Structures are given as structure tokens and as C-alpha cells.
Amino acid sequence: MKKLFFITLILFISLSTKAAFQDSTLIKRINQLSTQVQKKYAPDKRTEFYELKLEKSDPLSYHLQVSNPEAVQEFKALLKSENLSVILKEDILPSKDLGEAIYGVSNLSVINTRYAPNHAAEMATQATLGTPVKILKKEKGHFFVRTPDNYLSWTESRGIIPMNKADFENWQSSQKIVYSDLFGFAYSEASESSSPVSDLVAGNILQLLDEAKGFYRVSFPDKRIAYISTKKAQLFDQWKKQANPSADQILKTARNFLGIPYLWGGTSVKGLDCSGFTKTSYLLHGIVLPRDASQQALVGDAVDILENDTLSISKALKNLKPGDHLFFAADKRTKKVTHTALYIGNGEFIHAAGLVRINSMISGSKNYDDFQSRTLVSARRVLTAIGDPEITRIDKHPYYQGQISQ
């Protein structure tokens, strides 16, 4: 009897081990296929979302959540082609839990966005008041949003006013103003001695209700009413139709930020990181650029500044024009871009590094920056490429026209 029991036990353990091994092999293969799909449809997590989670091992069940529906179709096709039998729950963003409220507008002078839905997570970027966003899902009191520069990140839900399609289109088609001072306030009455309703930063956009006594009466996305001096704002419809900016205009705006402290993820006068600085210098002229330095390094027209894969100062001085974008790589072996600046001319550039400042790439200059000059790896000309993909005028951008696709 004991012998039969031990034989049965050994057989059970053997079968269990074999099943576990088979499950492990199956899970490994599914993960390999998932990685293959992710690399194709979501190679950059800053712009596309892809997440496959194992929910149960018996039966084998997964939850696939994506921003690109083609990723789901390809993953299912791969599973079928290899006869891999799993239960797959698919969720294509925006999440159905949001209902029709998948559109939104930033409601604070500046909102901070992060790479995870909690305050301790790394800051990703910022969006200023009036920025239109697409809401993809909600979790832990945060919205997962896509901003006009195509960036994906999480922000506290109180900073976004969710809207359905009709409300969003009404907001975007309404008369608006754009704040033009670097920093200021919206007031409770038509007097700058009245109580403030909110602080404001350059580029904030509010709905215009009427104008009287030198003040615009405006509405925030959450329906707060405030007053802004007409001397400190422009009509949005006129502002967005301005001609493409010149190098002088971009650099004049950039110089207005001199001395502003560096802030990782910052895109406003409250703090700027390197690419936030270049991006905002363009945004205040109605041009939307990609968010990060490594993304900005892929747009515009290339400018030759290298000789045998190394910076040539003589070639840079000859070929660079004011307003060109400079890109730097801390590790010149990989050439992974980690910093950016705007070229001023005569070897000088303006950038956010510690604070917004002007440095020179010419050795011997009083403001020479040895580290940045040694790590300069490429340059691009953006001003001649406005209208190309990812260098978009606000008056042509679907988000600002109320045309965010579902």
C-alpha cells in the first residue's frame, strides 16, 4: 500500500513539474512575442503605451493594454500562428471607463505631469493653462494624458477639466486670449489691486467673455471668472495666425528666460529643462515641437558641424546660423542626445543648464563651456522646416482645432 502511495506521489510530482515547465516555456514564448510587437508599435514609451500583464497562470490569462489598436491585432495573430492558447483581455486606450469624457483642457497656470500616477514619480513634463489633451485613462486620482507634442504622462486629475466631444469643440471654437507677460495674475475684478484668482505664465490660454475698461473678462476651463489687463494678453485668433517666427524673434523670447532656474521636466517660467526651454521658446510663437532633446534631434534639417565624427569649430562657425538647434551627448560613444541649446551666432549658444545662460564653444572666450563644447554631436535647422511632421503650427494642429481623434 505504501509502495503504491509513493509511486502515485512521484507520478503526481513528475506531472506537476512537467506542467509547470510547459507553462514556464509557454509564458516565456508569449513574452518574446509581446516584446516583438512592442518594439514595432510602441518603441518609445514616451509616445505610445503598451503593457502586457499576466493575470492568472491557471488558466493562462493576460491583460493587454495599448494605445495603438494595430498592436492588439498583431499580437493575437502571432499567438494564433503558433497555436498558443491563452485568455486575452484587450483594452485599447482611451479606457471605456472614461465614457465620453476623453478630451480635456489644462486648468492651472502650469500642471506637472509624471511617469507614474503618484506624486513621488519622476516628473515628465508640464502643460500650461488652456493646453488641450487627450485623456487615455484614470488611476489613483490621476489622468493619463497625451499632450499636443504627442507625449504620454500622468497628471493629477484636479489639473485637467474632462470634456465630451461637444464641450471640447465648443471650448476650442470659442473666442480666447493668450497671456503674453512672462508671469502675472488673473484678478477677481477689473483692477490689479483686487484679489487674484490665479497666477499666470506666458502662453496661458483662457476663454474670452467680453472686454471693458482695459480688461478682458475671461473664463477658466472650470468656469472660474477673472480679469486680465488687455496690455498683458493678445486675442488668440490673431496670435495663432502670426507669421512663422524669425531667428531674431525666437532668440529674443529665449533671452527673456535668462536666469530662470533649471527644473527637470519644466516648460515654463517657473522652471525649465534644456528641451523645455527650446520647446517653450517656439511654443510662445505658436509652434509645437517634440518634447525631449533626443526627439527634437530628429526633426528639422541637418547642419554639418563635424569633421571625422568630431566637432569642427571652423565648420560649425561657417555652417551654423542663429536659431539653429545644437545637440549634445554626454557619452560620445553612443551619441545618445541628452542636452540641447539654441545657437545665437559667433560661437555662442543659449541653453538651460543650472539656469538659462549663454555660453561659447570657442576656447578662450570668457563664457566658454568646455564640457558642452566637447559633447556637441549634431545640429538641426528647425526654422526652415516649420510645417514638417512634428514641427506644427498651432493654427494647423488638430488638438487646438478641437479635432482630437478617438
Short-list 190, 180, 172, CA closest to 133? 172
Give the Cα separation of 179 and 229 in Å (integer): 10
Given this model, what pLDDT does residue 1 score?
Answer: 55
pTM over cut 0.95: no
CB 291, CB 337: distance < 8 Å: no
Amino acid at 180: S
Domain 247-385, architecture per CATH: Alpha-Beta Complex (3.90)
Residue 305 phi/psi, 5° resolution? Answer: -130, 5
CB 160, CB 300: distance < 8 Å: no
- The superfamily CATH assigns to domain 94-239 is SH3 Domains (2.30.30.40)
All three cell numbers of 395: 493654427
pLDDT digits 0-9 by tens, 169-218: 999 999 999 999 999 999 999 999 999 999 999 999 999 999 989 999 99
pLDDT digits 0-9 by tens, 45-94: 999 999 999 998 888 999 999 999 999 999 999 999 999 989 999 999 99
How far out from the chain centre does Cα 264 lie? Answer: 13
How far out from the chain centre does Cα 5 lie? Answer: 63
Short-list 246, 271, 275, CA closest to 257? 271
Give the Cα separation of 255 and 189 in Å (integer): 33
Strand runs labelled E in 160-261: 160-163, 176-179, 183-187, 196-201, 205-212, 215-219, 225-229, 233-235
Q: Which fold would CATH assign to domain 2-92?
A: GMP Synthetase; Chain A, domain 3 (3.30.300)
Given this model, what pLDDT does residue 11 score?
Answer: 45
* Domain ranges across the chain: 2-92, 94-239, 247-385
> What are the angstrom distances between the C-alpha of 359 and each of 3, 316, 364?
85, 15, 12
